[in-house]
Amino acid sequence: MPWRTRAKAYRQHEDELYDRLVREAVSGKSSGMNTWASEFARVDKPEGDQSRFMNQFAATVKTTVALQTFILACIMHPEWINKAQKQIDDIVGPDHLPSFADRSRLPHIEAVVRETVRWRPSVRFGVPHESTADDIVEYNGEHYFIPAGTTVFDVTWAIEHDPGRYANPDSFEPERFLDVKGKLLSNYETSSFGFGRRICPGIPFAEQTLWIEIAMLLWTFNIRKAQGPNAETGLAFRYDDSDAGFTGNITSAPRDFPAVFEARSVRHAEVVRRDWENCEKDLNVLLPVAKG
Ligand code: HEM
């Protein structure tokens, strides 16, 4: 069966599954509880069908925002790129794209993924939760009373930018996750995917997706600022990785920016074209390669 027809069938299957999961979450059937999802969906909103909001949340939070953030980091903090590309070149070589089979031997790419979700978390204020009972929380020797019914935000950005945890938190430095021998530090934890019972269940999927996308992008391209004037203003584009450079409500994505992707060599371009042609012909060619 041609891959587009199969992909359509998968998509339909996925939509049905997703709709069912949303219906069960909204009705409280899945957890037997009065969930945030059901409360949110019950209240009439001018935007209409709330399942669309949830759909959009899952879709946009995914890896898209993190990948845009990664590209902005390549442009604004490029100091680490040579080292990461050297590791890819040493391990993978010039004749094929990286695959998951290389993952354990490319700790630098793993560190780039960790730094991407730390540096500018896609959900920087977390997702609001409502406390179900009175609670007392201890923080830095102080005790705080949180009454039942309080809306609580876990401000991921503040945690990931705590200078007590990370030196120069505003700077993109994947090496912070590596020891002096270039091995991954073992004490990794992140708040970028939330906390506790409702922590993001998509973490392995998100990390794997980001890993393979970042590895392939770095293997293939040099990514740099666009030169020359902005077509709209006639001025050089002003890149911005501050708060003002990001936009969104629950998710926080970089504002649109131009980027140049330059194949690292003629050979790299040939390999990518060859793989692209193969996977255009048959998805079965791509999947085993991606699985490694
Ligand atoms: C870089 C990518 C991603 C980031 C930064 C991210 C982040 C988050 C955050 C912060 C939450 C809220 C957790 C909380 O309430 O404490 C969340 C929830 C959720 N995420 Fe993700 N996520 C990502 C990718 C994904 C992917 C790929 C999937 C699905 C395959 C996914 C599925 C979900 C679901 C279903 C929830 C709701 C969980 C619940 O309320 O029980 N996420 N995510």
Q: Do both 71 and 121 map to the same domain?
A: yes
State the distance from the centre of ligand 1 to the C-alpha of 197, rounded, in angstroms: 12
Q: Are residues 204 and 235 in the same domain?
A: yes
Q: Has residue 238 been placed in a domain? A: yes
Establish if 133 belongs to a structural domain.
Answer: no
The sign of the CA dihedral 235, 236, 237, 242 is negative
Q: Does 234 share its domain with 266?
A: yes
Q: Which domain holds residue 83?
A: 63-126+155-286
Instruction: State how far the alpha carbon of 62 is from the alpha carbons of 26, 71, 81, 110, 207, in Å.
Output: 21, 16, 24, 17, 10
| CA 219 to the chain's CA centroid | 19
Tell me the pTM.
0.81
What's the domain count of the chain?
2
Give the span between the Cα atoms of 51 and 38, in whole angstroms.
Answer: 10
Is 242 found in the same domain as 102?
A: yes
Q: Give whole-number Cα distances, 261 to 71, 202, 223, in Å.
A: 10, 29, 5
Q: Are residue 69 and residue 20 in the same domain, yes or no? A: no
Q: Is 62 in the pocket of ligand 1 (CB under 6 A)?
A: yes
Distance 191 CA to ligand 1 centre (A): 11
Tens place of pLDDT per residue across the chain (292 aa): 777 888 888 888 878 877 887 777 777 666 665 566 666 666 665 555 555 555 545 555 567 899 999 999 999 999 999 999 999 999 999 999 999 999 999 999 999 999 999 999 999 888 888 999 999 999 889 999 999 999 998 899 999 999 999 999 999 999 999 999 999 999 899 999 998 888 988 899 899 999 999 999 999 999 999 888 877 788 888 999 999 999 887 888 999 999 999 999 999 999 999 988 876 556 565 556 655 5
Question: Angle, to 10 degrees, between the axis of helix 3-27 and the axis of helix 283-291?
Answer: 60
pLDDT for res 38: 67
Of 17, 41, 59, the one marking the end of a domain is 59
The tokens for 212 are 């393979």
Question: Among 61, 127, 130, which is best to mutate for testing ligand 1, by the most ligand atoms less than 8 A from CB?
Answer: 61
- Same domain as 70, residue 48: no
CA atoms within 13 A on the CB side of 168: 8
* Res 14: pLDDT: 77
Residue 116 beta carbon below 6 angstroms from any ligand 1 atom:
no
pLDDT of residue 183: 96
**Lookup result for tokens 């890819």:** 88
Contact 115, 176 (CB under 8 A): yes
One domain, residues 77 and 44: no
Q: Both 99 and 44 in a single domain?
A: no
Q: Is the CB of 250 under 6 A from ligand 1?
A: no
**Cβ of residue 66 lying under 6 Å from some atom of ligand 1:** yes
